[in-house]
């Protein structure tokens, strides 16, 4: 299945976001070789130049490294991946707050709703473990 893209942002940014997601969720593991540009282009059904640009962006922040003649690899620096994870987490949190604000929830109300939801989640997990 080709990757889905929204129409309001450049495709190369969306491709690089999806590759970052792949790294954070373990599809592409630390220190492992990434698919080639052409392979990515076919997987995502996008132009190879777009993939190239997305990978250069990731290289410039250190998430991806080029090893001569053997291709591109996910970084072996745990701290760089941790930084990307924090950045993605902060982004998701602030987007969530914005959507809740649009529904009329204050920041405090949202936090207490989240705390409540977290408690229920823990209970549900304990029940399924038992």
Partner 1 sequence: MSEATLECRELSKYFGPNAALHNVNISLPAGKIIGLLGPNGSGKSTLIKLACGLLTPTDGEILVCGFEPGIESKALVSYLPERTYLPDWMTVLDCLKYFQDFYADFDYARAISMLQALSVPANARMKTLSKGTKEKVQLVLVMSRRARLYLLDEPIGGVDPAARDYILGTILRNYCEDSTVLISTHLIADVEKILDEFIFLQSGQIVSYASTDSLRADLGKSIDEYFREVFRC
Q: Which of 21, 27, 47, 112 binds partner 1 (CB under 8 A)?
A: 47
Task: From residue 129, give the alpha-carbon distance in Å to each of 37, 117, 118, 121.
Answer: 43, 18, 17, 12
How far apart are CB 65 and partner 1 at their closest, in Å? 22
How far apart are CB 21 and partner 1 at their closest, in Å? 18
Q: Which of 34, 46, 58, 74 binds partner 1 (CB under 8 A)?
A: 46
Q: How far apart (Å, rounded) are the C-alpha atoms in residues 64 and 76?
A: 9
Three-state DSSP at 80 gives helix
Q: How far apart (Å, rounded) are the C-alpha atoms in residues 88 and 90?
A: 6
Q: Which of residues 11-30 bind partner 1 (CB under 8 A)?
A: 11-12
Under the criterion CB under 8 A, does residue 74 sit at the interface with partner 1? no
Under the criterion CB under 8 A, does residue 36 sit at the interface with partner 1? no
């Amino acid at each position: 299945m080709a990757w889905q893209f929204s129409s309001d942002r450049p495709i190369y940014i969306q491709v690089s976001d999806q590759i970052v997601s792949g790294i954070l969720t373990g599809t592409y593991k630390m220190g492992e070789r990434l698919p080639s540009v052409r392979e990515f282009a076919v997987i995502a059904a996008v132009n190879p130049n777009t993939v190239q640009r997305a990978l250069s962006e990731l290289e410039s922040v250190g998430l991806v490294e080029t090893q001569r003649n053997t291709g591109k690899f996910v970084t072996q620096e745990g701290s760089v991946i941790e930084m990307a994870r924090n950045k993605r987490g902060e982004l998701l949190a602030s987007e969530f707050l914005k959507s809740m604000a649009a529904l009329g929830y204050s920041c405090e109300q949202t936090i207490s709703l989240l705390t409540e939801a977290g408690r229920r989640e823990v209970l549900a997990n304990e029940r399924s473990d038992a």
